[in-house]
Amino acid sequence: MPVLVMKFGGTSVATLDRIRRAAKRVGVEVAKGYDVIVIVSAMSGETNKLVGYVDETSPLYDAREYDAVVSSGENVTAGLMALTLQEMDVPARSWQGWQVPLMTNSAHASARIEEIPTDNINAKFGEGMKVAVVAGFQGISPEGRITTLGRGGSDTTAVAFAAAFGAERCDIYTDVDGVYTTDPRICEKARKLDKIAFEEMLELASLGAKVLQTRSVELAMRFKVKLRVLSSFEEQSDEAGTLVCDEEEIMESNVVAGVAYSRDEAKMTLLSVADRPGIAAAIFGPLAEAGVNVDMIVQNISEDGRTDMTFSCPTNEVARAEKAMNDLKTNGELNFAEIVTDADVAKVSVVGIGMRSAAGVAAKMFKVLSDEGVNIQVITTSEIKISVLVARKYMELAVQALHDAFELEKA
């Protein structure tokens, strides 16, 4: 039998009624002849409640105990989903991560999947079971402790199962009906994409689009797992939602696939740093050690052997970054005049694999923003994306103007 993986997020299993609705969707696929592996998240709100308990109990918690606590929500929905399917006369049973066993490394709270043996579940499929319901987000370490894969980890669980079982497709049911050219909440012309390439989805996810966990897209790309994002709140046809797939499967596409944004960016500038070899390592090594996720970096031209170094990071890491820099200055390991922080910036990016072959995308982007009076503060580019840092008040304007200019509302 062909295997299909279906993943239901927290809002899709938030109540017993929603679990029933999800189970009906599963029943439809079983009726088509699939053996189905269902990956479930915890009921929405449950994991946050458990994380809250742990934070309140122990601010610097033992991550092994954190994992033991926060993984329990998924066990509840897995059992309830199996029972709901059984009520519909669909032969089903639940598996917790350790029962599969989904083997991970020992990096508690952000473990990486190492192996998913298929014998156990395939044997049950062989005995007539039609649906294996698996608790998402969790696994077991070589030491036999429960691990979790990090927030949003159920997406990654789903893709990993699809890869391990050679599934025909991995359907991610969520509270939106697909991947959009940009966020419909800030640009009303945003259009749902029927297909998007892995590379594009990966950039969009890491540049701020929240529809899929970045790691799940990486994994899907590596193992060529066809990934479909669709809504659990609507009746769905086989063509619903957005298919994330190999670029070869997309006949023709716009040069730019989408516009992403990230609101919580901060820009920091170290004024008058000695411009010497190794200076970048002297700054960004300690920042990495302090847990600061540096994104864009710009170094001004040098004057009198000194330069200004600018970088961006998430706003909630500013305090850590400032402390790390000031510590270096106090220790005499780094000399600079001043740190200037601007926590009022946003990142806007255009993404598209078509940019590889089409020239002039960057020029057009800069002109559009200039025409709107939006000053560009920092620029980074890759083969398939261009990102700019702008004052936060211009963010919506920039997204809308770019969406218009690249005619993303047209298929």
Residue ranges that bind its own copies, judged by CB under 8 A = 16, 19, 50, 53-54, 56-58, 61-62, 64-66, 68-69, 71-73, 75-76, 78-80, 82-84, 86-87, 93-94, 96, 98-99, 144-146
Considering the complex, what minimum distance in angstroms separates the CB of residue 67 from its own copies? Answer: 8
Overall size of the chain counted in residues: 411
Looking at the Cβ atoms of 71 and 174, the one nearer to its own copies is: 71
Q: Are strands 385-391 and 338-351 parallel, antiparallel or unpaired?
A: antiparallel
Give the integer Cα–Cα distance in Å for 123 and 71.
26
Please, which residue, 50 or 250, has the CB nearer to its own copies? Answer: 50
Beta bridge partners of 138: 148
Q: Both tokens of residue 329? A: 């200055």
Distances (CA, A) of 55 to 13, 63, 86, 170: 25, 11, 37, 34
Q: How far is the CB of 55 from its own copies (least distance, A)?
A: 10
Spatial separation of the C-alpha atoms in residues 85 and 286, rounded to whole Å: 52
As measured in angstroms, the least distance from the Cβ of 164 to its own copies is 19
Q: At what angle do helices 214-223 and 153-164 cross, to 10 degrees?
A: 10
Q: How far is the CB of 62 from its own copies (least distance, A)?
A: 6
Phi, then psi, of 345 in degrees rounded to 5: -125, 165
DSSP for 243-288, please give it: EEE-GGG--S--S--EEEEEEEEEEEEEEEEE--TTHHHHHHHHHH
Write down the least CB distance from residue 379 to its own copies, Å: 45
- d(C-alpha 262, C-alpha 249), whole Å: 29
For its own copies, the closer of residues 97 and 352 by Cβ is 97
Sign of CA dihedral 268, 273, 277, 281: negative
Q: CB nearer to its own copies: give 101 or 150.
A: 101
| Closer Cβ to its own copies, 96 or 182, answer by number | 96
User: What CA–CA distance (Å, rounded) separates 409 from 411?
Assistant: 7
Tell me the closest approach of the beta carbon of residue 86 to its own copies, in angstroms: 6
CB of 213 to its own copies, least distance (A): 24
C-beta separation of 9 from 21 below 8 A: no
The secondary element (H helix, E strand) that includes residue 301 is none
Cβ distance to its own copies smaller for residue 68 or 282: 68
Joined tokens for residue 286: 């300690």
Closest to its own copies by CB, 41 vs 349, is 41
For 75, counting Cβ atoms within 10 Å of its Cβ (0-12 exposed, 13-18 middle, 19+ buried), the class is: middle
CB of 137 to its own copies, least distance (A): 14
Closest contact distance (angstroms) between CB of 257 and its own copies is 41
| Minimum CB distance to its own copies smaller for 121 or for 384 | 121
Q: Is the dihedral of CA 215, 217, 220, 225 positive or negative?
A: positive
* Count of C-beta atoms within a 10 Å radius of residue 399: 22
Cβ distance to its own copies smaller for residue 50 or 362: 50
Supply the Cα-derived Rg of the chain in whole angstroms. Answer: 23
